[in-house]
Amino acid sequence: MTRAEVRAGVSLALIFALRMLGLFLVLPVFAVHAKNHLAGGGDAALVGLAMGAMGLAQAFFHIPLGIASDRYGRKPVIVAGLAIFALGSFIAGGADNIYAVIGGRILQGVGAISAAVMALVADTTREEHRTKAMAMVGASIGVSFALSLIAAPALYRWAGMSGIFNLTGVLALAAILAVLFIVPNAPRAKAQSIPFLSVLKDRELMRLNYGVFALHLTQIAVFVVVPGAIVQALALPVGEHWKVYLPVVLGSFVLMLPPVVAGERRGKMKQVFLGAIGLLLLAQIGFWLVLGQASARGGLLLALLLAFFVAFNVLEASQPSLVSRVAPPAAKGAALGMYNTLQSLGVASGGLVGGYLQQHAGPQAVFILAAALTIAWLIIASNMKNLPRRDSRDSRNQVAAAAV
């Protein structure tokens, strides 16, 4: 990759990660905070809605804003989306009731820039290096999730929930400067119709779209329950949860690297992918069993969290790259738009369903649902194609149109 391609990939991955931080930073602390400090925060369903509202709003705006970026340019759409996101963050930061937080989270989601960012990645990288750049963006999601789990409890103890929301707003404004002055400019592409039907009918993309939906529904639903379980099992207040997340997350990154590297080198990514889904399933079954005990064991809970994060990081880092490789050459933009839309729907559904099940059926029901979705994912993914190992000759011979 050239210096400009590296700069584009890294800077856009950081901007993408910032958007995801706005979603993820609330996960470890919001459920406990809302119950104790927000009017209406005792309703678990409303808490779940607040956690998933951003993803729900994003689901409606990924494709329209992606198309707008074709017509008006990538950077104007990204800047506008970051400004709207910042406004929603400040509204949520000043809220004293759950409904105002929901409103702020919806506004955060309206600034849905994921499709525009990925399209700009495609604009600023050559075809033979596009998968690497897409993998940077995919990995940034896993990194932002891990960082949020480590940083959120400490930030909450230092600045409170309003401080976390306000910080994400300030960082969004800083990201606008990065878009304007650091991200390379890309040539304007002519607007073209997006062949949605061909994307929707592609079986390999359908597998990946279901996968990202199930993964993020599971992620959000699980973290409606997990913070309270940590408080109970380890007697740790929310502000001390970083003591759990830091070693678990760092360990998960160390453990996820060898299988991913080996899978890429040997052309065995399908096996690695299926193994990660299987590990995710085992973690969910374990959570269900542990929370069913009269007193959850802290050590076993930590082991299950480690397994969950290893699986999540492998899947989150690999799926966007797989989408960019299996998408029809003339419809990469449409494929990425659909992928991001299903991701956002998973986030929104996870908050809503997780909160509802916890309130009306108990926390174990959350893990039963997550396990059922993951079993279905394992069956669906078992028939996916095993993509061959990529080398420089493969990259040079791959013919792909611009992903816009």
Q: Encoding tokens for residue 130?
A: 């596009």
Q: Report the Cα–Cα distance between both ends of the chain, in Å, rounded.
A: 21
Locate tokens 């990939």: which residue? 9
- Is residue 103 very low, low, confident or very high in pLDDT (cuts 50, 70, 90)? very high
Choose which CATH entry (1.20.1250.20, 2.170.120.12, 3.40.50.2300, 3.60.20.10) describes domain 3-182+192-388: 1.20.1250.20
Residue 64 has pLDDT above 90, yes or no: no
**Amino acid letter, residue 326:** V
Instruction: Give the list of residues 6+ apart from residue 91 with CB closer than 8 angstroms, or none.
Output: 100, 103, 104, 107
Instruction: Give 34-91 as a 3 state SS string.
Output: HHHHCECCCCHHHHHHHHHHHHHHHHHHHHHHHHHHHHHCHHHHHHHHHHHHHHHHHH
Taking the C-alpha atoms of residue 399 and residue 160, their distance in angstroms, rounded to an integer, is 51
Q: Residues 217, 225, 338, CA angle at the centre, nearest 5°?
A: 10
139 φ, ψ to 5°? -65, -30
pLDDT digits (tens, 9 = 90+) for 247-275: 887 788 788 888 877 877 777 888 888 99
Q: Report pLDDT for 329.
A: 56
135: left (phi over 0), alpha (psi -120 to 50) or beta: alpha
Question: Which alpha helices (DSSP H) does 94-129 contain, by range?
Answer: 98-110, 114-123
Taking the C-alpha atoms of residue 28 and residue 25, their distance in angstroms, rounded to an integer, is 7
Closest CA to 374 of 207, 214, 209, 210: 214
Closest CA to 244 of 256, 231, 257: 231
Residue 171 has pLDDT above 60, yes or no: yes
Count CB atoms within 10 A of the CB of residue 197. 10
Higher pLDDT, 119 or 384: 384
Residue 353 near residue 221 (C-beta atoms within 8 A): yes
Residue 54 near residue 23 (C-beta atoms within 8 A): yes
Taking the C-alpha atoms of residue 351 and residue 311, their distance in angstroms, rounded to an integer, is 20
Q: Report pLDDT for 396.
A: 37
pLDDT digits (tens, 9 = 90+) for 308-338: 988 988 888 778 777 767 776 556 666 777 8
Locate tokens 């950081």: which residue? 14
Q: For residue 310, count CB atoms less than 10 angstroms from its CB and return exposed for 0-12, middle for 13-18, buried for 19 or more.
A: buried
350 φ, ψ to 5°? -60, -45
Instruction: Break the chain into its structural domains and give their ranges.
Output: 3-182+192-388
Dihedral angle sign, alpha carbons of residues 79, 81, 84, 85: negative
Residue 94 has pLDDT above 80, yes or no: yes
Dihedral angle sign, alpha carbons of residues 43, 164, 167, 16: negative
Q: Report pLDDT for 87.
A: 94
- Is residue 399 very low, low, confident or very high in pLDDT (cuts 50, 70, 90)? very low
- Is residue 212 very low, low, confident or very high in pLDDT (cuts 50, 70, 90)? very high
Residue 115 has pLDDT above 90, yes or no: no
CA distances from 294 to 7, 229, 234, 291, 297 (A): 52, 12, 14, 8, 10
Locate tokens 């105002």: which residue? 100
pLDDT digits (tens, 9 = 90+) for 330-365: 566 667 778 888 887 887 788 778 888 888 888 788
Instruction: Give the list of residues 6+ apart from residue 193 with CB closer than 8 angstroms, or none.
Output: none
Closest CA to 121 of 15, 261, 264: 15
Report the DSSP beta bridge partners of residue 39. 97
Give the total residue count for the chain.
404
Count CB atoms within 10 A of the CB of residue 104. 24
